[in-house]
Structure 1
């Protein structure tokens, strides 16, 4: 990989099997970014501890499943660096140093901090690690001198905080880090089987490479337009999760056909779902086959991640040498 290419850094918390929401919301874009950028994609296992510190026993297996889905979805380990956050200790070192200059008020105004403190009530989140997660996130990004970070519009405020931390660091110690810019990605809306956003926490997901039988059962049972009571009633595809899946799965001609015939009662919901399955089932089968091939060779997967850890560690240490020198720490 050429160091002259723009550097992209992004990660996911290891939560196990990924689903269609992950594929169309992030992974499909990550695959495209490999063509023109130097990409670092990682398992954010330390970040997982900020809200799931009470049960760490599931992280390693979840991480393996996640890496399998990364590669099955098209992330190429020969073109992108896949690694585990906690295996690159420089993330922790830079996190510590950035924490020394980050004002408490900057962290307390984070919208995610406020939102999750209100919504997650089954465990104590009044913790140093949870409050300071944006500092670790900043360290993750700038440790590799990333210039662009793929984010949705709702994540732009988080990246602005990272840029503020970078500006303060550079003011005190010299121009060490570039300010990472948002690479806005128009993530398509993916609704789950119950009509809400597809999410593991809602139990409404369709996993990548899920079996044909299970996928078909879930699709045929999906919630559609709740106002459409009878087959002859016109429907509104704009509120239907099946239609959103059509938009990321079917071709433009099929999407237009479904849109028009739903609104005019030319087709029923069963017809719409069957049309979706014509495209979705072969895609799921291809993904399932790739997943099984990867799972059948666990050592190969371990080697891929180990090599990625080494590549990430080398890049991180080269930049930390500059950081320590700028801060007169060595």
Structure 2
């Protein structure tokens, strides 16, 4: 029996990505690696959040549409097994939109504007007061996503934790109003390794900032990215003592090199002087080439048969449609909204 048909006693986990571009190493270390492991112990739903991606990409819907396949390819290439994980397309689940509308009545605009994650994202995008309503209401839509699957575990970065708390606030308000627990609260699963900086050492890794290494990167692209890595600007000569903190070479070794004892020894040597940046960069390059080569090969093979990938998405979405519609029916019944099956 596959995970897609197993009893619901396994904890339900919901996670996903906005399909605005192929995934990169930041996604891998932040969530993809753990998703591969969690699919053996949880009923895992993986959401291609194309509707949410439109909140700040409405002017370029084709970008979102074409990247649904790209992100799905990345999922499968890193080891997501469609027999264990249900991969679904958000826009094809109408129950999510109705749940979002219902939940908007249980949260205020002021509360949405106080959400630290939303405040930071609004500032980063330079919206000012010209905030798309869909973007401001993203926490409500995410609450709909999470509760529609009755997920009790949601892997997120530490900066996303306020969104999970807002989901639980909405759940508590609905449960209090109906007098019973119609919806479960969820727990944020924060990865041990935080947000991976870009190779330039600035902010997070992002394709739009040109500081990312895609999971499907070629050997040449990996080499060029590693050789451009930000190190210690004051480490001018091999003999100079170097700073490890904030040095992207060591950040990436910590994230990806399994030989932790050797990495710690290299840090000590670098601090004392006598270790060149290029020696370290060659080590990082070797680690990343070994990691990404099999992922790239699987991705290229899968890309030759897009019909197979779309079949996986179609089947997963059909199953998810039943699950989310059932939750919507339960919420509507609990709230006492109109139904033609009811009279009087």
TM-score, structure 1 normalization: 0.95
Name 1:14's counterpart in structure 2.
19
Which sections of structure 1, spanning at least 5 residues, go unmatched? Answer: none
Aligned residues: 330
1:323 to partner: Cα distance: 1.5
**1:230-251: CA deviation from partner (whole Å, max 9, x where unpaired):** 1211111222111111112212
Is 1:184 the counterpart of 2:190 in the alignment? yes
Name 1:283's counterpart in structure 2.
291
Rate the CA distance shift 1:221–1:184 in 2: closer, same or farther, 3 A: closer
Rate the CA distance shift 1:72–1:123 in 2: closer, same or farther, 3 A: farther
Is 1:201 the counterpart of 2:208 in the alignment? yes
Tell me the SS of whatever aligns to 1:232. coil
**In the alignment, is the contact (CA less than 8 A) between 2:20 and 2:67 conserved in 1?**
yes
Rate the CA distance shift 1:78–1:123 in 2: closer, same or farther, 3 A: farther
Name 2:103's counterpart in structure 1.
98
CA–CA distance in 1 between the matches of 2:20 and 2:193? 20
Rate the CA distance shift 1:240–1:141 in 2: closer, same or farther, 3 A: same
Bigger Cα displacement from structure 2, 105-114 vs 10-19 = 105-114
Name 1:111's counterpart in structure 2.
116
**1:24-63: CA deviation from partner (whole Å, max 9, x where unpaired):** 0111111111121111111111111111222112111111
1:79 to partner: Cα distance: 0.3
Tell me the SS of whatever aligns to 1:100. helix
Name 1:68's counterpart in structure 2.
73
Name 1:139's counterpart in structure 2.
144
CA–CA distance in 2 between the matches of 1:76 and 1:227? 46
Name 1:315's counterpart in structure 2.
323
CA–CA distance in 1 between the matches of 2:92 and 2:161? 27
**In the alignment, is the contact (CA less than 8 A) between 1:117 and 1:125 conserved in 2?**
no
Which sections of structure 2, spanning at least 5 residues, go unmatched? Answer: 340-344
For residue 54 of structure 1, the aligned residue among 59, 66, 84 is 59
**In the alignment, is the contact (CA less than 8 A) between 1:193 and 1:221 conserved in 2?**
yes
CA–CA distance in 2 between the matches of 1:261 and 1:90? 57
1:315 to partner: Cα distance: 1.0
Residues 216-255 of structure 1 aligned to structure 2 (within 5 Å)? 216-250=223-257, 251-255=259-263
CA–CA distance in 2 between the matches of 1:8 and 1:163? 15
1:122 to partner: Cα distance: 6.7
Q: 4+ residue runs of structure 1 moved beyond 4 angstroms? A: none
**In the alignment, is the contact (CA less than 8 A) between 1:16 and 1:64 conserved in 2?**
no
